[in-house]
């Protein structure tokens, strides 16, 4: 069943188009990797889907409901949760307090403080530490956990491993794989192609705000994705 459908979505920064008539869909339980060079429109696309950036044209349809005109908090109430680039935690609050802030208006579901700490074992010993004292990987785990506290139907994760040390990336991806194995529906933006292709069932590549490749990860090679990434080939199917 299609959980999210994006239809001809256009988004701009002032007069500059950042997302150009993008269409995509994702079914419940699927994982879609969104890749592309810096400035390709990935973050703007996720923010527009989440309601943090206005759509200039097109539609965002969640479980059959057109949510294009809804503000971000109402999309959260319907099951969309965004983990933004840069994490954006409350630096003076503890890990536990950052999680509980998001849980205050959560949808009914399995995710609460205890289950999030179970999914992200690294956070248990840190629960009373202020967010500003955490490493990048610990902050990213907290940010993903905070999004889970809303009990989302669709988790949007922007720049999963950006700026993280390799050991931190391993920890974050170990927890992501547990979520995915448990049936989570995820769209993730990732610069590391190998990581992206290892967890996703489908990959979508953006170039200058347009979809230039969409394929099952089992049917595409890293070389084909790289060619689309750098604009060397526009083959491989649309959204």
Digit-coded pLDDT (tens) for 142-187 = 999 999 999 999 999 998 888 888 888 898 899 899 999 999 999 9
Q: Burial of 110 by CB count in 10 Å (0-12 exposed, 13-18 middle, 19+ buried)?
A: exposed
Gyration radius of the chain's alpha carbons:
17
Q: Is 105 helix (H, G, I), strand (E, B) or coil?
A: coil
The Cα–Cα gap between 185 and 69 comes to 23
Tell me the mean pLDDT in the region 46-63.
Answer: 97
String of DSSP letters for 11-40? EEETTEEEEEEEEEEEETT-EEEEE--TTS
Tell me the mean pLDDT in the region 41-62.
Answer: 97
What's the sign of the alpha-carbon dihedral 106, 112, 117, 119?
negative
Q: Which residues pair with 195 in a beta bridge?
A: none
Q: Answer whether residue 235 shows pLDDT above 70.
A: no
Query: Quick check: is 237 in a domain?
Result: no
Q: What confidence category does residue 231 fall into, taking pLDDT thresholds of 50, 70 and 90?
A: confident
Query: Quick check: is 157 in a domain?
Result: yes
Tell me the mean pLDDT in the region 182-195.
Answer: 93
Contact yes or no for 175/7 (Cβ under 8 A): no
Query: Quick check: is 238 in a domain?
Result: no
Q: What are phi and psi of 129, to 5 degrees?
A: -90, 145
Instruction: Provide the number of structural domains found in the chain.
Output: 1
In which element (H, E) is residue 1 found?
Answer: none
Query: Quick check: is 63 in a domain?
Result: yes
Euclidean distance between the first and final Cα of the chain, in Å? Answer: 17
For residue 175, the domain's CATH number is 3.40.50.300
Q: Answer whether residue 5 shows pLDDT above 90.
A: yes
String of DSSP letters for 100-115? HHHHTTPPSSS-SHHH
Digit-coded pLDDT (tens) for 78-124 = 999 999 887 789 999 999 999 999 887 778 888 999 999 999 999 99
Q: Answer whether residue 239 shows pLDDT above 60.
A: no
Q: What is the reported pLDDT for 233?
A: 58
Query: Quick check: is 32 in a domain?
Result: yes
Q: Answer whether residue 237 shows pLDDT above 50.
A: no
**Per-residue DSSP letter, 106:** P
Q: Distances in Å between the alpha carbon of 125 and those of 94, 122, 174, 189, 239?
A: 12, 7, 17, 28, 43
Q: Answer whether residue 236 shows pLDDT above 70.
A: no
As given in the structure block, the two tokens for residue 234 are 């526009």
The Cα–Cα gap between 115 and 99 comes to 11
Query: Quick check: is 236 in a domain?
Result: no
Query: Quick check: is 234 in a domain?
Result: no
Q: What is the reported pLDDT for 160?
A: 87
Query: Quick check: is 103 in a domain?
Result: yes
Domain that holds residue 29: 2-229
Q: What is the reported pLDDT for 238?
A: 44
Q: Answer whether residue 195 shows pLDDT above 80.
A: yes
């Amino acid at each position: 069943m299609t959980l999210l459908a994006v239809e001809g979505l256009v988004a701009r920064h002032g007069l500059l188009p950042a997302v150009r008539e993008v269409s995509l869909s994702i079914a419940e339980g699927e994982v879609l990797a969104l890749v592309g060079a810096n400035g390709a429109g990935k973050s703007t696309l996720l923010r527009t889907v989440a309601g943090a950036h206005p759509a200039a044209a097109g539609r965002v349809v969640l479980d059959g409901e057109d949510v294009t005109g809804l503000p971000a908090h109402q999309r959260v109430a319907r099951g969309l949760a965004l983990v933004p680039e840069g994490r954006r935690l409350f630096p003076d609050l503890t890990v536990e307090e950052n999680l509980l802030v998001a849980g205050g208006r959560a949808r009914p579901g399995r995710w609460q403080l205890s289950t999030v700490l179970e999914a992200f074992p690294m956070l248990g010993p840190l629960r009373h530490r202020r967010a500003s004292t955490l490493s990048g990987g610990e902050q990213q785990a907290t940010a993903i956990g905070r999004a889970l506290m809303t009990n989302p139907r669709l988790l949007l994760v922007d720049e999963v491993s950006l700026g993280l040390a390799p050991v931190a990336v391993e920890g974050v991806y170990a927890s992501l794989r547990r979520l995915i194995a448990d049936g989570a529906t995820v769209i993730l933006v990732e610069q590391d192609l190998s990581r992206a292709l290892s967890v996703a069932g489908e990959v979508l590549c953006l170039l200058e705000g347009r979809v230039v490749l969409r394929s099952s990860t089992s049917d595409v090679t890293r070389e084909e994705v790289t060619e689309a990434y750098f604009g060397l080939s526009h083959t491989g199917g649309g959204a």
